[in-house]
Amino acid sequence: MGKRRRERGWVTLAWLLNLSGLVGIAIVLVAYWVLQPVLAAAHGEPAQPGANLTATSTPFSGLYYLPTVTRNPRSTEIVVQTPTPFVLANGQRGTVIGYSVSARPIEVYTFGQGEKHRMIVAGIHGGYEWNTIALADELITYIAENPQVIPSDVTLYILRNLNPDGDARDHGYDGRVNDHGVDLNRNFPTNWAAEWNRDGCWDYRPTTAGTAPASEPETRALVAFLQSHKIEALISYHSAALGIFPGGEPWDQDSVRFAEAIHEVAPYPFPPIDLGCKFSGTLADYAVSRGAVAVDMELANHKDTDFKINLKVLDVLLKFEP
């Protein structure tokens, strides 16, 4: 009798130890789950999340020292930066043709499906010329609501912001270049020059032409687009005030005719105001080398979109016979 009693005592003790062990493990697990976001946050964020990442790169989960093999969905992730996205009321988005230095998307909106391809590029000088991006967004919205303005034989492409990093950085002098400090309108492969005489040129901040023709991802995205699409006429919007600059060196004669046709409906100066700057590596020169008529065109100032004027300019772009 006494022996069996002692045996039962041992069995009970064994079960108690077993249970307390299980409870202990459960407490550790619960505590880990609850404290995890705190631990993750304590490691902080890198100074510039998303900088120098391409959109396809996978965030390095090891940064947070989480003891898990699979990335924990509750951890703080590196987020690729995007400016406030422009979205049409109907939800339509542009086609992403590439990414900026800091992985912001570069989008093209397409209207119509005719065989004559025309293009508008805005924001090549980023936030310094932010009103060109605002104009592009107004045009995109207007055409989406009035698709009949596009003739049946025309396809129109609008690239609303070629320099989203500059636009995100500053709406002033500091917003002109991309995140490598490059003036994108000096980085195109036609008439490219590493350095240029700054007399008469924009010189409020240090800028470069890039390390080589089309060294910048923004430039390469548009170059690839122009190589795969036969654009007949192109307007590259700038601000401010100097007028309409035909592409080509010397000026391409068909582009001069295009500039004159625009000047008939818009008050922008043509011939443009000559401050003595000699332009190298411009988008308009490159577009001409691809067989397009092209102009660099400046809005009247740094804040207005001149929307009504540029509706007339749009009509010239859509109907001009190169």
Choice between 155 and 163, CB closer to Zn ion: 163
CA atoms of 217 and 214, how far apart (whole Å): 8
- Select from 215, 268, 261, 208 the least CA-distant residue to 238: 268
Kindly state the smallest distance separating residue 236's Cβ from Zn ion, in Å. 8
Identity of the residue, 116 or 238, whose beta carbon is nearer to Zn ion in the bound complex: 238
Which residue has its beta carbon closest to Zn ion? 238
Q: Which is nearer to Zn ion, 121 or 226 (CB)?
A: 121
- For the bound state, the minimum distance from the C-beta of residue 125 to Zn ion, rounded and expressed in Å, comes to 4
Nearer to Zn ion, 55 or 242 (CB): 242
Across the beta sheet with 116-121, the strand order is: 95-99, 105-111, 154-159, 116-121, 231-239, 293-299, 244-246
Task: Please state the closest distance from residue 184 (CB atom) to Zn ion, in A.
Answer: 9
CB of 270 to Zn ion, least distance (A): 17
String of DSSP letters for 195-254: ----TTS--SS--B--SSTT-SHHHHHHHHHHHHS-EEEEEEEEESSS-EEESTTTTPHH
Minimum distance, C-beta of residue 134 to Zn ion, in the bound complex (Å): 14
Pick between residue 102 and residue 282 the one whose CB is nearest to Zn ion. Answer: 282
Supply the minimum distance, in Å, between the C-beta of residue 202 and Zn ion: 8
- Shortest reach from residue 124's CB to Zn ion, in Å: 6
Can you tell me the distance from the alpha carbon of 137 to that of 103, in angstroms, rounded to the nearest whole number? 21
Q: 180 or 238, CB closer to Zn ion?
A: 238
Length of the chain, in residues:
322
Q: Which of 93, 99, 86 has the alpha carbon at shortest distance from 50?
A: 99
Q: Give the interface with Zn ion as residue ranges (CB under 5 A).
A: 125, 129, 238
Query: Residue type for 94, please?
Result: G
Report phi then psi at 191, rounded to 5: 55, 30
DSSP assigned state of 57: P
**Cα 184 to Cα 163: distance, rounded to the nearest angstrom:** 8
Which C-beta is closer to Zn ion: that of 125 or that of 160?
Answer: 125
Cβ-Cβ contacts under 8 Å for 154 (sequence gap 6 or more): 112, 114, 116, 117, 118, 318
Inter-CA distances, 12 with 9, 18, 35, 258, 318, Å: 5, 10, 35, 97, 90
Distance of alpha carbon 212 from alpha carbon 115, whole angstroms: 34
Minimum gap (Å) between residue 143 Cβ and Zn ion: 23
Minimum CB distance to Zn ion smaller for 59 or for 126: 126
